[in-house]
Amino acid sequence: MKNIKKIIPYLIIIVTVVLIRTFFVTPVAVQGKSMYPNLEPKQILILEKINKNFKRFDVVVLKIGNDKLVKRIIALPGEHIKYVDDKLYINQKIVKENFVKNTKTDDFDLTEFGYDKLPKNTYFVMGDNRGNSLDSRVFGPVEKKDFIGKTIFSIFPIRRIGTIKK
């Protein structure tokens, strides 16, 4: 009986950590260079799982097949997206992307995927390193149910500690 009383605090700690990681926040590592230079390979981010209120330019983690991908939300449900001459158009209006550096985005239009506007609960995601990113231009729009969460903070490497910039 004495041994069980000694173990209970440790069990409570373990259960608490598991619950927090399962339902609230968890670390996630960036794989590959699709978000470079804003995020680098092996950079560790904190992923918030509980807030499902996604906005344009949020950096999210999504599940595509067996892969977990880190991407940026570019277009929201009900919007039309296209790129012409390296400029982003949402519903025919130019939208500035301050996070894209030294990379070119090839022309394309959402109609290439058979949509005039993104369906309800569907988003268009892209990597910041447009020439080296497997994203919605390849696999199409992503449903909200495929999002694991959005990144809120970088914890490693130390020189990258801080909030994720939009």
Helices within 43-149 (DSSP H only): 136-139
Listed in sequence order, the residues at least 6 apart from 124 whose beta carbon sits closer than 8 Å to its beta carbon are 73, 74, 75, 79, 81, 110, 118, 136, 141, 142
Go through 95-107 and write b for each residue having 16 or more CB atoms within 10 A of its CB, e for each that does not.
eebebbeeeebee
Structure tokens at 46: 């904190």
Tokens of 79: 């919007």
Active site residues: 34, 71
Q: How many CB atoms lie within 10 A of CB 47?
A: 21
Tokens representing residue 111 in the block: 């109609």
Token look-up 């949402």 returns 90
CA-based radius of gyration for the chain: 19
